Amino acid sequence: MEKQFIKLDDFIFKDDFADLTDLQYTRALQIINAEFSGVYTLWSILPPDEARAKRELCINYLVAWKLAQLYPGAALHVSGTGALPIQSKKAGPIFIKYRDMVSQEGSVLSMLTTNNYGVEALTMIQSAPDMYEVYA
């Protein structure tokens, strides 16, 4: 299946990163295309335009996740955890503990839990019908 590459101008989270260069974006996209090439086969049961839209949204989240990992100082609207999974948050008196989103210990997907972009991508990947072989 041919990969749909998103260009920097089409990157929906471009404004969430300060002074993002084409080279930084391209580097992150290349890493994502190597590490998560399977995303380009997800949602295959949907009509082509819908499948492409979901894949591109997921790739956008993955690229934003990788940019926040590679260039944490440039990320304006998300805080990284230094590659540690987000396990809990505290805001004033409120404490939130997240459930483990990846049931297979040591899964490569667990690294996506290090910032909100990755969590969104993980949710999309895990909920894709192809992951469950659910064809309705």
Distance CA 75, CA 78 (A): 6
Q: What is the pLDDT along the chain (136 residues), one digit of tens a residue?
A: 455 568 888 899 999 999 889 999 999 999 999 999 999 999 999 999 999 999 999 999 999 999 999 998 899 877 555 544 455 555 677 755 545 555 455 567 888 888 889 989 999 998 888 877 654 4
Q: Please report the pLDDT score of residue 62 as a whole number.
A: 97
Paired tokens of 70: 């590679």
What's the whole-model pTM score? 0.78
Instruction: Domain ranges for the chain, please list them.
Output: 12-131
Nearest to 55 by CA among 3, 9, 7: 3
Q: Please report the pLDDT score of residue 130 as a whole number.
A: 83
Packed helices 48-70 and 22-35: angle between N→C axes, nearest 10 degrees: 110
